[in-house]
Amino acid sequence: MQKLSALLLIIMVWVENCTDAAELRLRQQCCPRGSVITLGDVAEIYTVDKQQCEKLSSIELLPAPLAPQQRVLRIREIQDLLIMRGINLADHRFSGSNQVIVGSTNDTLSDHDQCLSVSAVKRSQRRVQEAILQYLKTKTALKHEPILQFEPNTALTRAAGNPSQPISISGGSPPWTGMQHFEVAADTPQGPVRFALDVQVTAPSAMVAAVHPLARDAVIQQSDVTLVYQSPGEGENSGFHAIEEVVGKQTTRAIGEGKILGLDDLQSPLMVHRGDVVTVYATSAGIRARTTARAREDGGLGTLVTVETMQDRKTYQARVCGIREADVIAQAVPAAERK
């Protein structure tokens, strides 16, 4: 019974802490509602507790600038002001802009716009994203779903918050990737809403991955690999983007199923192994000579390997040109030096 009571106490404390936590998303610019800049002016506040949202929104920070002046408030300055007013920053999370440009007009924002729940923001963001994807499908033949990146705002949440109201998208321009400027429209209980939305549209990166486990030293066949798509920036510089790049290469280690193949995972197939007796060809002035040597290291087609002569074990480099074959370019010795 005591253990159960302790567990309930822990759960209650955890729930209380979760309820107290809020996300403070700083705006890029704002216009104070009165003569004093409040936290609700400079930040959108996301919390499950409406009373806490209103309490945080009403915290006064600084006097508002007089028209037509503006003031820039940086995040560190806002945090310092909140600490001075007894707010524990560890209880909240900051996001959004690094600074807020504060204007001098007295336009008001409704409590509904200031106190937005996290779930409402995510729901509206998801609905707008789905609407944009459907719109893009009517404009271009998308082989794979692009990645959309945009900043949620109060207009977006208000317009897309009601799932029963359809959303329409317009705007944008070919090639339909990069920064796109869309217009979002929806009917709300307060009337029609239209607003501009800048969206970064990025095609997913194609990367080569293993279809099934591959043993070390296996030669890649086309049936061994497939293309997978991932968010931009994830391994783009350390992998292969086309199946043709990997077919015929040899694995340097065991590869697991589904693993994206990195540059270090594959090499050209080894045609010369350390210790092999290789045929070395030397070409000079149209004359081609042949000798034998012993390889001191492994090498694939086109790679330089160190070989040693069979008689006195002198070493030199040769380029692998076939299975246990290599060649060197011999330089002709001028006649004056042969005398």
**CA-closest candidate to residue 132, choices 320, 37, 124:** 124
| Pair (12, 109) in one structural domain | yes
d(CA 8, CA 12): 6
| Pair (49, 109) in one structural domain | yes
pLDDT of residue 178: 86
- The domain boundary residue, chosen from 201, 236, 257: 201
**Cβ atoms of 261 and 255 closer than 8 Å:** yes
| Pair (94, 27) in one structural domain | yes
Q: What is the total count of domains within the chain?
A: 4
pLDDT of residue 278: 93
Find the CATH number of the domain harbouring 261: 3.90.1210.10
pLDDT of residue 317: 92
Decide if 339 is inside a domain: no
pLDDT of residue 295: 94
pLDDT of residue 146: 85
Does pTM surpass 0.75? no
Decide if 222 is inside a domain: yes
Per-position DSSP letters for 41-61, written without gaps between them: HHEEEE-S-HHHHHHHHT-EE
pLDDT of residue 16: 46
Range list of H helices, the chain: 2-20, 39-42, 50-57, 75-84, 111-114, 118-139, 154-160, 335-338
Decide if 323 is inside a domain: yes
Q: Print the domain residue range for 293.
A: 270-332
Pair of tokens at residue 67 = 């028209």
Decide if 337 is inside a domain: no
**Cβ atoms of 56 and 44 closer than 8 Å:** no
Decide if 132 is inside a domain: yes
pLDDT of residue 275: 92
| Pair (6, 111) in one structural domain | yes
| Pair (91, 108) in one structural domain | yes
pLDDT of residue 101: 82
pLDDT of residue 127: 86
d(CA 210, CA 231): 18
**CA-closest candidate to residue 296, choices 323, 321, 314, 322:** 314
Q: Prior bond to 269 cis, omega within 30?
A: no
Kind and range of the H or E run holding 228: strand 225-230
Decide if 338 is inside a domain: no
pLDDT of residue 195: 78
| Pair (107, 125) in one structural domain | no
| Pair (102, 132) in one structural domain | no
Q: Dihedral of CA 97/103/107/108: which sign?
A: positive
Decide if 8 is inside a domain: yes
Task: Give the pLDDT of the chain (339 residues) as one tens digit per residue.
Answer: 555 454 444 434 434 444 467 888 888 888 786 788 888 888 888 887 788 888 888 899 888 877 656 788 889 999 999 998 888 888 888 888 888 888 754 443 444 444 555 666 777 888 888 899 989 888 887 667 788 888 766 667 766 767 777 888 999 888 888 899 998 888 776 677 787 888 888 877 788 999 999 998 888 999 999 988 776 555 455 788 888 888 888 898 999 998 989 888 988 888 888 999 999 998 877 788 889 999 999 888 888 999 999 988 999 999 998 889 999 866 544 444 444
| Pair (46, 131) in one structural domain | no
pLDDT of residue 318: 92
- The domain boundary residue, chosen from 69, 84, 116: 116
Find the CATH number of the domain harbouring 35: 2.60.480.10
d(CA 237, CA 99): 33
- The domain boundary residue, chosen from 267, 284, 304: 267
pLDDT of residue 91: 83
Decide if 318 is inside a domain: yes
